[in-house]
């Protein structure tokens, strides 16, 4: 991590986990910016992390105390709790109501509603800290009241069960963006991490985008293929977001956004919210992770392969030896700032935001290990020459503007366009 040291004196930005020394003038600037503009993180997976640990029981999570000790087997502790959110000056949070892509149909809709209920349950349990937000004006009002605006984002088109009425009802339940795919293709859109089936969006997929415009739900293009990105940008009448993606020009990865698409996003007035997942931030880390996965499979690949199949102790020892011989390439806060800088340079400063993916990632960059560290990222940008106005845009101003513009498009469309009842069968010929 790059520490920002002043020659004469340093100021410590308070965090609950790790103090970060920052030039006091920069710290004061960041504090001023975040008093006037809500810091809005585009993606946090606490609802699924909570479900994995406690089931559909938000009352079982003690969010008022340090959650870093809540470790899942083979994973990290939680990266989010109320003390760290406050230390991080978070003013608005899109909580992801993710469910795995392997769930489909009615059960996927049910699980999504349960995840939304978790978000609302946390807001109800901690009313002094959280308040549900459904509009851009709500976010501004809640931030001015000194609370955190809680927003809902759906992380995958599989969660609507191929139903536009279900999409509308999820909007009514609070969802304000939907990622068109997650890790797998849907029946109407291609994912970035699956072999293409549709060359982007099908006719029904285009109908989904149009109905999202009509309701006011932001179209989220993280996780989707480049073909899907281009099709959605062609169809949409409102700004899109990428709730947690990086710049392909900094780290070549299917989950990042190419310069060609960034040009389309600029014309669309959309926002790319930069992800913190190390494999997406840094190409060397991605290649290391791929090599490690291959090595792990070589030692123990059920049901029939692997050098040490059925010998977990030997497989673990061999992997530990490989880890020692192949140290993990470092990924730092400064590298995340490189993505922010790059997107602002290629797409414009109105085109970039923050989408951490905290509690949905198994590792974090040095210096960005939890929600308390957001000010340190803004301090790094300030050190690089970003103005206070532009810091406010990346912190939350840009996504707030995109949400406001999507609301305006929806108001106009609702005055002229009835709800769509298109189905896969009548658009794509699928039952």
For the annotated catalytic residues, the residue numbers are: 43, 45, 155, 182, 223, 244, 357
Sequence-separated contacts (24+) of 415-421 with Cβ below 8 Å: 417/214, 419/164, 419/165, 419/168, 419/211, 419/214, 420/164, 420/207, 420/210, 420/211, 420/214, 421/164, 421/165
CA atoms of 205 and 142, how far apart (whole Å) = 34
Burial class from Cβ neighbours inside 10 Å (0-12, 13-18, 19+) for residue 117 reads: middle
> Is 400 in contact with 38 (CB distance < 8 Å)?
yes
CA atoms of 102 and 373, how far apart (whole Å) = 33
What count of Cα atoms within 13 Å lies in the side-chain half-sphere of residue 355? 32
Distances (CA, A) of 32 to 59, 144, 269: 34, 13, 26
CA atoms of 79 and 48, how far apart (whole Å) = 13
> Is 339 in contact with 247 (CB distance < 8 Å)?
yes
DSSP class per residue in 165-207: HHHHHHHHTTEEEEES-SSS--SSB-BTTS--SSSSB-HHHHH
Instruction: Tell me the two tokens of residue 308.
Output: 């040490």
> Is 130 in contact with 150 (CB distance < 8 Å)?
yes
Q: Is 311 left (phi over 0), alpha (psi -120 to 50) or beta?
A: beta
């Amino acid at each position: 991590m790059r520490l920002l040291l002043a020659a004469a004196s340093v100021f410590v930005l308070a965090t609950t986990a790790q103090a970060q020394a920052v030039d006091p003038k920069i710290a004061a600037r960041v504090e001023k910016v975040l008093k006037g503009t809500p810091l809005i993180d585009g993606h946090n997976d606490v609802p699924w992390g909570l479900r994995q640990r406690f089931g559909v029981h938000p009352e079982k999570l003690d969010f008022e105390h340090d959650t870093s000790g809540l470790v899942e087997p083979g994973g990290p502790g939680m990266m989010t709790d109320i003390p760290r959110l406050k230390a991080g000056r978070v003013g608005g949070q899109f909580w992801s109501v993710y469910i795995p892509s392997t769930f489909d149909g009615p059960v996927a809709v049910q699980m999504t509603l349960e995840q939304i209920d978790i978000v609302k349950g946390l807001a109800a349990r901690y009313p002094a800290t959280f308040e549900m937000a459904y509009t851009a004006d709500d976010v501004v009002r809640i931030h001015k009241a000194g609370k955190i605006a809680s927003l809902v984002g759906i992380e995958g088109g599989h969660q609507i069960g191929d139903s536009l009425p279900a999409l509308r009802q999820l909007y009514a339940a609070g969802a304000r963006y939907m990622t068109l795919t997650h890790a797998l293709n849907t029946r109407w859109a291609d994912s970035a991490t699956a072999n293409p089936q549709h060359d982007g969006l099908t006719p029904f997929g285009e109908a989904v985008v149009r109905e999202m415009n009509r309701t006011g739900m932001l179209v989220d293009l993280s996780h989707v293929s480049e073909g899907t990105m281009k099709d959605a940008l062609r169809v949409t009448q409102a700004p899109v977001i990428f709730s947690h993606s990086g710049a392909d020009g900094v780290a070549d990865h299917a989950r990042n956004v190419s310069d060609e698409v960034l040009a389309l996003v600029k014309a669309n007035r959309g926002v790319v919210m930069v992800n913190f997942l190390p494999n997406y931030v840094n190409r060397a880390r991605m290649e290391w992770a791929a090599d490690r996965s291959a090595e792990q499979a070589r030692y123990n690949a059920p049901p029939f392969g692997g050098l040490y199949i059925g010998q977990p102790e030997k497989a673990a020892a061999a992997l530990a030896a490989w880890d020692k011989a192949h140290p993990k390439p470092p990924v730092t806060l400064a590298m995340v700032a490189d993505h922010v800088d790059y997107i602002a340079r290629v797409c414009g400063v109105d085109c970039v935001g923050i989408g951490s993916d905290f509690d949905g990632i198994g590792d974090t960059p040095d210096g960005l290990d939890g929600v308390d560290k957001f000010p340190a990222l803004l301090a790094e940008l300030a050190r690089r020459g970003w103005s206070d106005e532009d810091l406010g845009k990346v912190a939350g101003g840009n996504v707030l503007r995109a949400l406001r513009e999507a609301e305006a498009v929806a108001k106009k469309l609702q005055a002229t366009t009835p709800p769509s009842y298109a189905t896969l069968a009548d658009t794509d010929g699928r039952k």
